[in-house]
Amino acid sequence: MADAAESIGILQFALDAVVDQQQVIANNIANEDTPDFQASRVSFQSSLAQALRVGGDASVEDSPEGLASGINGNNVSLPTEMSFMQENNLENQAVDNGLSSQFTILSDAIGA
């Protein structure tokens, strides 16, 4: 079982990745009408899961979304980006709840 410092470190990595993910989604939306713009996606979940299973470091990757391009060469889909944003908000809430729980545990231990 992970100690508090390790758990907070893992949650900090996840929070940083969620922030990176939000910035990429915002950039994709901002470039919805930019000719030849190719949407990106941040991936960290599988790397984090593997690092937790077998040890080692997790990484954050920024990769193309792989959606088909439209007439102007742009592949941003606003409905897709909005869906990613909702998913990202849920991930952010989960990480925030995890951090809050860890800090509550530490606060209770210090106060005891």
Q: Quick one: tokens of 30? A: 């901002």
pLDDT tens digits, 32-71:
999 999 999 888 777 777 777 776 677 777 767 777 788 8
Q: What is the pLDDT of residue 34?
A: 95
Instruction: Give exposure, 15-34, as e/b (b: 16+ Cβ within 10 Å).
Output: bebbebbbebbeebeebeee
Among 42, 35, 43, 44, which Cα is nearest to 13's?
44
Under the banding of pLDDT at 50, 70 and 90, the label for residue 112 is: low
pLDDT tens digits, one per residue of 68-100: 788 898 999 999 999 999 999 999 999 999 999
pLDDT of residue 1: 45
Please state the pTM of the whole predicted model. Answer: 0.80
Evaluate if residue 110 carries a pLDDT over 50. Answer: yes
Listed by start position, the domains of the chain span: 4-107
Please compute, for residue 96, the number of CA atoms within 13 A of its CA located in the half-sphere on the CB side: 8
Query: Tokens 């990745």 appear where?
Result: 17
Token pair belonging to 87: 């998913």
Q: Cα(107)–Cα(14) distance, rounded to whole angstroms?
A: 22
Residue 29 binned pLDDT confidence (cut-offs 50, 70, 90): very high
- Cβ-Cβ contacts under 8 Å for 38 (sequence gap 6 or more): 64, 65, 69, 74, 75
